[in-house]
Structure 1
Amino acid sequence: MIQLLKVTKTYGQRQAVAGLSLDIGPGEFVVLIGPSGSGKSTTLRLINRLVEFDTGSLRFAGQDIRSFAPEALRRRMGYAIQSVGLFPHWTVEKNIATVPRLLGWPAARTAARVHELLELLQLDPAQFARRYPHELSGGQQQRVGVARALAADPEVLLMDEPFGALDPVTRLALQQELKRIHTLSGKTIVLVTHDIDEALYLGGRIVLFREGRVVQDGSPLALLTRPADGFVSDFLGRSELGLKRLGLGTVADRLRPGEPAGGDPVRSDANLREALSAFFVQGRESLPVVDAQGRPAGALHLVDLLAAHPASPPAAAAGEGA
């Protein structure tokens, strides 16, 4: 889908991207993460030609990216950023319809797509379609920004710190929405963030940058269990690696089906880190578990949670896939 081979980008004396090689396949959810100035956002902008690379090769859908007109390329790649950038004097429906209208879609098709996306992002069309951006909360504006990026059904969704300015509750809700959209659509998503917890929650694959280069490329579990070096351990939060690893498993993985237990229930799709918090809050050694519909599913025991250490995968080599 997207291939970068020995790509470089230099600003003055500073090399923002240094000989980067990266292959992103169809349907992947790849998170680019690293310190400020590490090259992750520059890489994202190289992909949709908001920035032109200096040397190397960059291909999209099997073709040299420079063979595409920039406008045509960007219509195949949705782009969502932290500042949203909605047009203030346009309604929500008109903002979402920006690219379909540029592409000359019939009015009926455009209206149907706007309605579909508002429902997908859990914004009631009857309530929100004719509102203006200033009438929306920050989280609602960000949902509209994501809907606009998806409006023309792009093959790739690029996202640069899309939830960085939101409060933690709204941020989590939108992260959950994005995971659901990825599951439903199967689109290729490339997201930049500085938040390691967001990366671990969203990414099927994490690419960690440092000084324009890839330090480690692999699954969340691979990075947590076999960090390539001390920098990776420190960036992930060396003292919290165990807790972060718990966040990758779900209650359903450690459930004892059919067992009764006292206390307030936890959901089977909650992660084990959330379950650990529930154990401490309630001061119990076992908790009842319910499924997504609230039906009893069994019990979770603290001893099972603390013993939940799946076999470690082989280390992802520093720069693997890069």
Structure 2
Amino acid sequence: MIEFQQVGKSFHGQAVVDDFSLAIAPGEFVVLIGRSGSGKSTTLKMVNRLVEHDRGRILFAGQEIRAFQPEDLRRRMGYAIQSTGLFPHWTVERNIACVPELLKWPAARIRDRVTELLELLQLPPDVYRRRYPHELSGGQQQRVGVARALAADPDVLLMDEPFGALDPITREALQLEMRRIHRLSGKTIVLVTHDIEEALRLGSRVVLLDHGRIVQAGTPRQLLAEPASDLVRDFIGRADLGLRLLALDTVASRMRPGPIEPNNAPALRDTDSLREALSTLIARGTSQLPVADATGTLCGLLHLSDLVQPSA
């Protein structure tokens, strides 16, 4: 879908991205992460030609991106940023509809698409369609920004620190929303963040950059279990490696299945992460808790000792 071949970019003679090579397959959720100045945002902006690369090649759908007119390329790539960039004097509906209108979609199709996206982002259309950005919370504005980026059904969704300005609770809710949208839509998503928790939670593949070069690329589990260097270990957080590995697995993967006699102990959910389960076990001062499935039926037990067993 997207391929970087030895790409480079310099500003004022200083290399910001250097010898960058990466292939992103259709349907992947790739997260670019690194410290400030690592080149991650510049790399993202080169994909839709907001920044032009100096060296190497960037392919989109098998063609060099310079074979496309910039406006044609951008219409095939949704773009969501931290500030949302919503037009303040336009309603939510018109903000979402702006790209389909530029593409001259029929009015009925545009209205249906706005309704579909508001429902997908859990913003009831009858409530939010006619509101203005100043009438929305920060999290709601960010949802509308994502809806606008998805409006023309793009091949790729590019996201540059989209949740960086939000409070932790709203941020986590929107991260879960993006995982759900990715699962339902199968879109190729490339997201930039400086937050390792966000990267590990969202990415099917995480690419860590330093001084414009790839330090390590792999699944969240690969980065946590097999860090390629001390720089990777330090960025992830040496003291947090074990806890972050627990966050990748669910209670269902470690519980001891079997019929459980009901008691007064609140149950863990089988979809909880093992990290959440550990926190609950410690907070309740117990070495085991029952586990319930989606219907609320008790289906097993999780012991504290189960959390230190290697994953399958």
TM-score (norm 2): 0.97
Q: Which letter does structure 2 place at the counterpart of 1:19?
A: D
CA contact (8 A) 2:8 2:20 kept: yes
- The CA distance in 2 between the partners of 1:304 and 1:53, in whole Å, is 50
The 3-state SS of whatever aligns with 1:108 is helix
The 3-state SS of whatever aligns with 2:234 is helix
- The CA distance in 1 between the partners of 2:295 and 2:92, in whole Å, is 33
The 3-state SS of whatever aligns with 1:277 is helix
Aligned to 2:217: 217
- The CA distance in 1 between the partners of 2:134 and 2:258, in whole Å, is 50
Q: Which ranges in structure 1 are unaligned for 5 or more consecutive residues?
A: 312-322
- Identical residues among aligned pairs (%): 65
CA contact (8 A) 2:259 2:298 kept: no
The 3-state SS of whatever aligns with 2:144 is helix
The aligned length equals 310
CA contact (8 A) 1:262 1:287 kept: no
- The CA distance in 1 between the partners of 2:129 and 2:40, in whole Å, is 34
CA contact (8 A) 1:32 1:209 kept: yes
- The CA distance in 2 between the partners of 1:7 and 1:131, in whole Å, is 43
Q: 1:112 offset after TM fit, Å?
A: 0.2
Aligned to 1:295: 297
Q: Which letter does structure 2 place at the counterpart of 1:26?
A: P
CA contact (8 A) 2:77 2:158 kept: yes
Please give the per-residue CA displacement for 1:123-174, whole angstroms capped at 9, x wherever unaligned. Answer: 0001000000000000000000000000000010000111111111111111
CA contact (8 A) 2:252 2:271 kept: yes
Please give the per-residue CA displacement for 1:260-283, whole angstroms capped at 9, x wherever unaligned. Answer: 365221211111101100001111
- The CA distance in 2 between the partners of 1:70 and 1:122, in whole Å, is 32
- The CA distance in 1 between the partners of 2:119 and 2:293, in whole Å, is 24
Q: 1:259 offset after TM fit, Å?
A: 4.2
Q: Which letter does structure 2 place at the counterpart of 1:182?
A: H
- The CA distance in 2 between the partners of 1:294 and 1:110, in whole Å, is 40
Aligned to 1:318: none
Q: 1:295 offset after TM fit, Å?
A: 2.8
- The CA distance in 2 between the partners of 1:273 and 1:7, in whole Å, is 38
The 3-state SS of whatever aligns with 1:6 is strand
Please give the per-residue CA displacement for 1:78-125, whole angstroms capped at 9, x wherever unaligned. Answer: 000100010000000110001000000000000000000000000000
CA contact (8 A) 1:208 1:216 kept: yes
Structure 1 residue 62 corresponds to structure 2 residue 62: yes
Q: 1:73 offset after TM fit, Å?
A: 0.5
TM-score (norm 1): 0.94
Q: Which letter does structure 2 place at the counterpart of 1:152?
A: A
Aligned to 1:105: 105
Moved over 4 A (4+): none
The 3-state SS of whatever aligns with 1:163 is coil
CA contact (8 A) 1:86 1:95 kept: yes
Please give the per-residue CA displacement for 1:155-203, whole angstroms capped at 9, x wherever unaligned. Answer: 1000011111111111111111100110111110000010001101101
Q: Which ranges in structure 2 are unaligned for 5 or more consecutive residues?
A: none
Aligned to 2:124: 124
Aligned to 1:310: 311
Aligned to 1:76: 76
CA contact (8 A) 1:286 1:302 kept: yes
Q: Which moved more, 1:288-297 or 1:107-116?
A: 288-297
Aligned to 2:255: 255
- The CA distance in 1 between the partners of 2:175 and 2:298, in whole Å, is 27
Aligned to 2:280: 278
CA contact (8 A) 1:262 1:288 kept: no
Q: 1:297 offset after TM fit, Å?
A: 2.3
* RMSD of Structure 2 on Structure 1 (CA): 1.0
- The CA distance in 2 between the partners of 1:69 and 1:295, in whole Å, is 56
Q: 1:296 offset after TM fit, Å?
A: 2.1
Aligned to 1:204: 204
Aligned to 2:48: 48
Q: Which letter does structure 2 place at the counterpart of 1:245?
A: L
The 3-state SS of whatever aligns with 2:302 is strand
